[in-house]
Structure 1
Amino acid sequence: MKLVRNALLALGVSAAMSLSASAADYVLKFSHVVSPNTPKGKAADFFAKRLEELSKGRIDVQVYPNSQLYKDSAVLKALRLNSVQMACPSFSKFGKIVPQLALFDLPFLFKDIDHLHRVQDSAVGQKLKDMVTAKGFVALDFWDNAFKQITDSKRPLIHPTDCKGLKFRIMSSKVLEAQFKAVGAIPQVMPFSEVYSALQQGVIDGQENTNSNIYTKKFYEVQKYMSLTNHGYLGYLVVMSKKFWNSLPDDLKADVKQAMKEATAKERQWAIELDKSQFAKIKEYADKTGKLQITKLTPEQIAEWKKAMEVIYPEFYDPKLIGKDLIQAAQNTK
């Protein structure tokens, strides 16, 4: 044993890891784009540890955070090639493959986080996952970021009409484009990495995002107003390489499903906690500096926004876009 230990030390850490991996029957590389201390990053690490436990070391899970392997824009192609075995892209990355995932972009579709999770865990969520699986991936589960809020630099956004004429950055999404047009705003597609400077320079007036994105990217520093609308949702879909999945025996597939089920429960809780803690930091900044005015909309005001925005739903009743059946099934989920 001493000779083996000394040999491993001589080989170095990376070689030792390779020897350890070779002891496993399968190597699963999990690529994601965020830091390990985020809900997604923590859940990926939890999944890795739990799957290795459940499989008794037969699957060696290697997590690569911070785009070390691939950016989300390239990871789906890598999954098809089995160059990486698992990833967790945002829904927008599936836009051209399964446009029906834009269901989650629809404003005010979900009453609250519990309703959202019931939809994701229902036949609606399964149908969407089946659509992704039919396109050459294995869709495992939905992970949360959080609900979105609206910020701007011009005036408090209390009524939908307050958005009239303002320029808002959006992700590339027909739903989000229609959403802002419905309230008289001007949507502008822009990469996430350019939003801070565009807000700072006045190229755009505002943006929509989760508390964690608003805080970590410091958007609150270059905005004067923030309205707590919870109008839309940001999330991710955990997907696996179909080639890798098909190579697994049934007992290991069951282990993957169990580890994912547990990781999803953890991720959801961590996302809620982060959303609350980072909003508290934004509010602390607002209270301390007076440079940001935060408006908590009343139920009546929220209802006004909902009425103004949900008029876009029929635009997406076409099954090739989202589908009336999916939208109504989500609305009717108890």
Structure 2
Amino acid sequence: MRLLTAAVTSIALTLGAQAVSAAPIELKFSHVVAENTPKGQMAIKFRDLVAERMGDKVEVKVFPNSQLFGDNKVLEAMLLGDVQMAAPSLSKFQKYTKSLQIFDLPFLFKDMDAVERFQQSEQGQELLNSLRKRGLVGLGYLHNGMKQLSASEPLRVPSDASGKKFRIMTSDVLQAQFEAVDAVPLKKPFSEVFTLLQTKAIDGQENTWSNIYSKKFHEVQPYITESNHGVLDYLVVTSAEFWSGLDEDVRAELKQALDEAIAYGNKISDDKAAEDRQAIIDSGRSEVIEISDAERQQWVDAMKPVWKQFEDEIGADLIEAAAQSNQ
């Protein structure tokens, strides 16, 4: 009887262990924007590719619109194991590494082709590993596009921004950028921007065409200056503990699916920039201001000293390499 009981117990334990091992790995992907944005579409594509190729091995759950965490909290949550993947804007990493501040420098990149060339260069790829000592792993760059300036009054030259309050992401570089034109930068969560604009608690903000359109900022901002003064890209990131804890084959399959999803999202970003710009114009809710070359140069002259201000933190060689990507 004892032998039979022991055998039954052994079988039960074995079956239990198999059931546990068969449970899918849960991967929570948290982000702060709408599902119809390039980031939102990339996350859905990643989820679907994983489901198609990995079956019950890994289950990706996507949480858009700050449902789980805002970008200011998601990295802490990731280090605690509460979320496994996120794609915060590059500005959000300054307390983990100073190098990524390079992407906030105003007028460093003339267009998204230059951004892509730098990100895929040796220096750009090395930046993905700049977070490892802080427990995070960069997995790839996701584009959103070039930033524009929206405001309650027309902005044509730097003096038009003087004294006005602009929402910014948590970034010392972006703070310096607006202070360079005598504006008042306010660090606020992305989820609060529409209300802040609607109630006129702030005068303006900077963002890409897709974010402005998907979050309806154009409905509460009568003017958008086509400045293309900076880039708003994201870093798809996970925790080193989670990533290294995966079996090598699982990690490889996830990385391949993610690379394809990022390429898909970046193509959408390129297409949506033009589409959403036109949709904003067609809405008649906001006037798109096209500044002249001379007016644009005034912005460049006012903001470019920010490069020198952060040269020691970012690295002069890195800034030079990024600037060379415009050639």
Tell me which residue corresponds to 1:171. Answer: 169
Please report how far the alpha carbon of residue 24 of structure 1 lies from its aligned counterpart in structure 2 after TM superposition. 5.6
Find the partner of 2:208 among 210, 230, 243: 210
C-alpha distance in 1, partners of 2:63/2:196?
Answer: 30
Structure 2 letter corresponding to 1:323: G
The alignment's TM-score, normalised by the length of structure 2, stands at 0.84
Tell me which residue corresponds to 1:323. Answer: 315
Tell me which residue corresponds to 1:96. Answer: 95
Please report how far the alpha carbon of residue 55 of structure 1 lies from its aligned counterpart in structure 2 after TM superposition. 4.4
Structure 2 letter corresponding to 1:187: P
Please report how far the alpha carbon of residue 21 of structure 1 lies from its aligned counterpart in structure 2 after TM superposition. 9.9
Answer yes or no: is 1:195 the counterpart of 2:193: yes
Which whole-Å deviations, capped at 9, do the CAs of 1:57-80 have from their partners, x for residues lacking one? 533333333444433333222322
Find the partner of 2:283 among 282, 285, 305: 285
**Closer, same or farther: CA 326–279 of 1 in aligned 2, 3 Å:** same
Structure 1 residues 227-236 or 182-191, which shifts more?
Answer: 182-191
Please report how far the alpha carbon of residue 250 of structure 1 lies from its aligned counterpart in structure 2 after TM superposition. 2.8
Tell me which residue corresponds to 1:123. Answer: 122
Please report how far the alpha carbon of residue 53 of structure 1 lies from its aligned counterpart in structure 2 after TM superposition. 4.3
Unaligned regions of 5+ residues in structure 2, if any? 1-17
Coordinate RMSD, CA, aligned: 2.6
Which whole-Å deviations, capped at 9, do the CAs of 1:70-119 have from their partners, x for residues lacking one? 33333222322333322222223322112322211111111111111111
Please report how far the alpha carbon of residue 20 of structure 1 lies from its aligned counterpart in structure 2 after TM superposition. 11
Tell me which residue corresponds to 1:272. Answer: 270
* 8 Å CA contact 1:140, 1:237 repeated in 2: yes
* 8 Å CA contact 1:47, 1:260 repeated in 2: yes
Please report how far the alpha carbon of residue 313 of structure 1 lies from its aligned counterpart in structure 2 after TM superposition. 0.5
Structure 1 letter corresponding to 2:188: M
Answer yes or no: is 1:45 the counterpart of 2:66: no
C-alpha distance in 1, partners of 2:171/2:187?
Answer: 8
Which whole-Å deviations, capped at 9, do the CAs of 1:277-330 have from their partners, x for residues lacking one? 2222210122xxxx6432112334333322221121010011xx3222221111
What is the SS of the residue equivalent to 1:131?
coil
**Closer, same or farther: CA 78–108 of 1 in aligned 2, 3 Å:** same
Please report how far the alpha carbon of residue 264 of structure 1 lies from its aligned counterpart in structure 2 after TM superposition. 1.2
Tell me which residue corresponds to 1:142. Answer: 141
Alignment identity in percent? Answer: 46
Q: Residues 23-38 of structure 1: matches in 2 within 5 Å?
A: 23=22, 26-38=25-37
Please report how far the alpha carbon of residue 30 of structure 1 lies from its aligned counterpart in structure 2 after TM superposition. 2.3
* 8 Å CA contact 2:34, 2:215 repeated in 1: no
Please report how far the alpha carbon of residue 213 of structure 1 lies from its aligned counterpart in structure 2 after TM superposition. 2.6
Please report how far the alpha carbon of residue 262 of structure 1 lies from its aligned counterpart in structure 2 after TM superposition. 1.0
What is the SS of the residue equivalent to 1:240?
strand
C-alpha distance in 2, partners of 1:138/1:74?
Answer: 17
Number of residues paired by the alignment?
A: 309
C-alpha distance in 2, partners of 1:266/1:176?
Answer: 29
